[in-house]
Structure 1
Amino acid sequence: MAMLFVEMQTHDGHEGLGLSYSKRAGGPGQFAHAAEIAPALLGEDPSDIAKLWNKLCWAGASAGRSGLSTQAIGAFDVALYDLKARRAGLSLAKLLGAYRDSVACYNTSGGFLHTPLEQLLVNAAASVERGIGGIKLKVGQPDRALDIERVEAVRKHLGDHVPLMVDANQQWDRPTAQRMCRIFEQFNLVWIEEPLDAYDHEGHAALAASFDTPIATGEMLTSVMEHGDLIRHRAADYLMPDAPRVGGITPFLRIAGQAEAAGLMLAPHFAMELHVHLGAAYATETWVEHFDWLEPLFNERLEIKDGRMIVPTRPGLGLSLSEQARAWTREKVEFGTRP
């Protein structure tokens, strides 16, 4: 995994921290694109966040308005919101207008396909004991019977009261997805995630219309327009936008507005340190994904209690980079002059 961080300072001493990421290839490309467009921010008013998003977008428009180019913009956009909230003395959630002080959370990192079944049961029980509210399991094995066995075993182990989700990571074709969704109806799942290719909106819509178990998707989409197409097709019950992937908080809020108008539930993907704030600012109850992968990068930790993630009350994101993050830094570049 590669992380892209933006540390921003104004002439009067205010600071902001932003982030984006790439789980596989693309990190060096994000960094290179960010370095090219960063000078466009110099001399601008940091309060004009939407204007600055557009300026950064057009500075790199020849690279496109989705994917890697907007993911690079995302780090600047998050930093601008963090700066604005810090300057106001508010958490990011409060700046945006929070509906709640905590969000429901679920664990993914204990349920990967390579995890043996016995360890899967141990991991799931440990997460519940820790106070995490739900458990998500990866499915999509070549042998579908293994998927069924694992889901059935975890449901029996945890009981009916623990929220349980599954994630196929786009591994099924339409006939397989129909069969598996039908079989999984018996397990009272919160959702079935990415049963089909991320861009198969018609296929996802057919599943959403056919089954009681909600369909969740959206994490792989990288623009407001792509999410708009998904919403118009009614292709999800749970929308799963990823703020860094779509270009930051500015486009995320546009997506969330469309989702709310369509009556969809929201479950932002990954980056819990950011999404805990954005989830708290959505009109209806949200789920936020608990991944502890990024914890070594920050000095602060999120609090989990009674199945919920507590929204930090510190100004902005409430985060500062750790010494470990700085030690792992491979490339950096600086623009402008320090105040």
Structure 2
Amino acid sequence: MSIDDDVISAEQHRRRADQPSTPAPGTSDRIHSLRLRSVRLPLPTPISDAKVLTGRQRPMTEVAMLFAEVTTTDGITGLGFSYSKRAGGPAQFAHAREVAPVLIGEDPNDIARLWTKLVWAGASVGRSGASTQAIAAIDNALYDVKAKRAGLSLAKLLGAHRESVRCYNTSGGFLHTPIEGVLENASASLARGIGGIKLKVGQPDPAIDLARVAAVREHVGAGVPLMVDANQQWDRATALRVGRTLEEFDLVWIEEPLDAYDVTGHARLAAALDTPVASGEMLTSVREHVELITAGAVDTIQPDAPRIGGITQFMKLLVLADEAGLALAPHFAMELHVHLAATYPSEPWVEHFEWLEPLFEERIEIVEGRMVVPNRPGIGLTLSDKVPGWTVGDVTIDE
């Protein structure tokens, strides 16, 4: 049996895509229209991680969002989104606009088949990267439709294991923030009820990283979960040397110590360190994550549903991660990942970023170190009245 659509034969894909949609008994609903919006969300402060300090990227000033709204003939509208940082937003919008017309008139319940149909509509640009990130927004919207039809939250529709998930804050620990500010942010996060703190590392001088980690550990105390994230900026020798020095701080994990595609290096590092190794956020397909899993390259896997093609692909990956006995900590997009993490059999982590909050009317409740899974139907999000002012592209595709 295949573990991913990536490895299904071309002929199987064509047969699936060409099969007519037959409604289930008593179901006559069809996709009537899709609205796609390209939105540029400005960030209050330019953001720098190790990739900026090593000269590989410029500070981040905005997040490019792709919103998909799928409306059915029964009058149900589902909202989904994808995103990109620094580059890729226009490409996602253009690709979604090009392939979305193939869904008009289709049964919105057939989400897996429709994912395959969208992939084949744009097959020449592949099954990862911007193409499947564009599909992710539509895929997520279809799940929102299905959950709303059932009157269930997304987590309940998929099968939840818990009503809340552990959470940790990342946005307060970036490298552009002086250590005094990082300590203040950590205190504020813990006071808000967030359960852990993640600190960015990976600077050209590891001594600075170690001093910052020591300061944060002393400030928050031994009992607070603490993670670090090098954003792929260490070579193998540096990762091993710094990783061994970091053992004394009792970290939950060391994240992206090496290039995201250095599977062999991650496997060797994971075997050499007591501290768990985490990675996966930069990967854009299930197949790439399978390479990490097969090689034993991570202890904690960090998939991003918008990046790997949406909920359809994410749920495939969760089965593989669970079978491998991995911990789960989805990357970014807490508004979506709080639902998906709640379906994982073992206790996961969800990353707290407040960056996307201005886009939505709703807020996630945080209590005693945990995010409460929203019980509103679907993903449970409504776009705020600020979104039109940040919209740079808007198209509706209908019958």
Q: What secondary structure sits across from 2:95 in the alignment?
A: helix
Mapped to 2, the partners of 1:309 and 1:336 lie a distance apart of: 37
Match of 1:298 in 2: 360
- For residue 235 of structure 1, the aligned residue among 289, 294, 297 is 297
Mapped to 1, the partners of 2:328 and 2:118 lie a distance apart of: 27
Structure 2 matches for 1:111-260, cutoff 5 A?
Answer: 111-260=173-322
Mapped to 2, the partners of 1:185 and 1:60 lie a distance apart of: 46
Mapped to 2, the partners of 1:193 and 1:311 lie a distance apart of: 25
Deviations 1:277-296 (A, max 9, x none): 00000111000000000000
Match of 2:4 in 1: none
Question: How far has the Cα of 1:326 moved from its partner?
Answer: 2.2
- For residue 333 of structure 2, the aligned residue among 253, 271, 278 is 271
Partner amino acid, structure 1, of 2:166: A
Q: What secondary structure sits across from 2:171 in the alignment?
A: coil
Question: How far has the Cα of 1:15 moved from its partner?
Answer: 1.2
Q: What secondary structure sits across from 2:292 in the alignment?
A: helix
- Taking only the aligned residue pairs, the percentage that are identical comes to 69
Mapped to 1, the partners of 2:205 and 2:100 lie a distance apart of: 48
Give the RMSD, CA atoms, in angstroms. Answer: 0.6
Mapped to 1, the partners of 2:384 and 2:218 lie a distance apart of: 40
Q: What secondary structure sits across from 1:110 in the alignment?
A: helix
Q: What secondary structure sits across from 1:35 in the alignment?
A: helix
- Gapped regions of structure 1 (runs ≥ 5): none
Q: What secondary structure sits across from 2:350 in the alignment?
A: strand
What TM-score do the two structures reach when normalised by structure 2?
A: 0.84
Question: How far has the Cα of 1:12 moved from its partner?
Answer: 1.0
- Paired residues in the alignment total 337
Match of 1:48 in 2: 110
Partner amino acid, structure 2, of 1:334: T
Mapped to 1, the partners of 2:102 and 2:291 lie a distance apart of: 31
Deviations 1:225-252 (A, max 9, x none): 1011111011100000000000100000
Mapped to 1, the partners of 2:388 and 2:324 lie a distance apart of: 42
Match of 1:106 in 2: 168
The alignment status of 1:13 with 2:91, answered yes or no, reads no
Deviations 1:273-324 (A, max 9, x none): 0000000001110000000000000000000110000000000001011110
Question: How far has the Cα of 1:33 moved from its partner?
Answer: 0.2
Deviations 1:83-126 (A, max 9, x none): 00000000000000000000000000110111111111111111
Mapped to 1, the partners of 2:128 and 2:181 lie a distance apart of: 39
Mapped to 2, the partners of 1:102 and 1:124 lie a distance apart of: 21
The alignment status of 1:35 with 2:110, answered yes or no, reads no
Match of 1:325 in 2: 387
The alignment status of 1:57 with 2:86, answered yes or no, reads no
Partner amino acid, structure 1, of 2:145: L
Mapped to 1, the partners of 2:330 and 2:94 lie a distance apart of: 27
Mapped to 2, the partners of 1:213 and 1:326 lie a distance apart of: 45
- Gapped regions of structure 2 (runs ≥ 5): 1-62
Q: What secondary structure sits across from 1:333 in the alignment?
A: strand
Deviations 1:248-268 (A, max 9, x none): 000001111110010001000
Q: What secondary structure sits across from 2:117 in the alignment?
A: helix
Mapped to 2, the partners of 1:180 and 1:83 lie a distance apart of: 47
Partner amino acid, structure 2, of 1:174: R
Question: How far has the Cα of 1:327 moved from its partner?
Answer: 2.2
What TM-score do the two structures reach when normalised by structure 1?
A: 0.99
Mapped to 2, the partners of 1:209 and 1:145 lie a distance apart of: 24
Q: What secondary structure sits across from 2:347 in the alignment?
A: coil
